Amino acid sequence: MKKKTGYIGEAVAKKFLLDKGYKILFQNYRTKFGEIDIVATIDNIVAFIEVKTRKTIAYGMPREAINYKKQMNYRRLADHFILSNPSIHNKDFRFDVIEVIITNEKKQIKHIKNAF
């Protein structure tokens, strides 16, 4: 059930980004260190985006699940992506979080730019 919720959240986030004019460079970029949910670009910015989805906020907001250790790991993943893709070396980079809260078929989306 948890994976299904995550897949739904990533699909919602992807559509949200496309509707805002982003171009998706990669989805579910995996290395031995972990995974970047979405790598997207807009203007001269490459955004490494972590999507966090919840069905309830009883245990806190989705973004609260991204602790310091996870942030550092995400930076390592981004470094790997950048080194593997020379065409983006001249871009600016940032780390975003997209929160998706799904309740009773209603979806709330919050895009936090430069989240960490």
Partners of 46 in the beta sheet? Answer: 41, 93
- 15-24, 39-48, 62-71, 79-88: least confidently modelled range: 62-71
- Tokens for 27, please give them: 């989805």
pTM to 2 decimal places: 0.89
* Interval 50-64: pLDDT, tens: 999 988 777 778 788
CATH for 2-112 (3.40.350.10, 1.10.8.80, 3.30.500.10, 3.40.1350.10) = 3.40.1350.10
Question: Using only C-alpha atoms, what is the Rg of the chain?
Answer: 14
* Interval 64-89: pLDDT, tens: 888 899 999 999 999 999 999 999 99
Q: For residue 80, what is the enclosing H or E element? A: helix 68-84
Give the C-alpha separation, 91 to 113, whole Å. Answer: 16
Alpha-carbon distance values, 96 to 1, 58, 88, 116 (Å): 25, 23, 17, 7
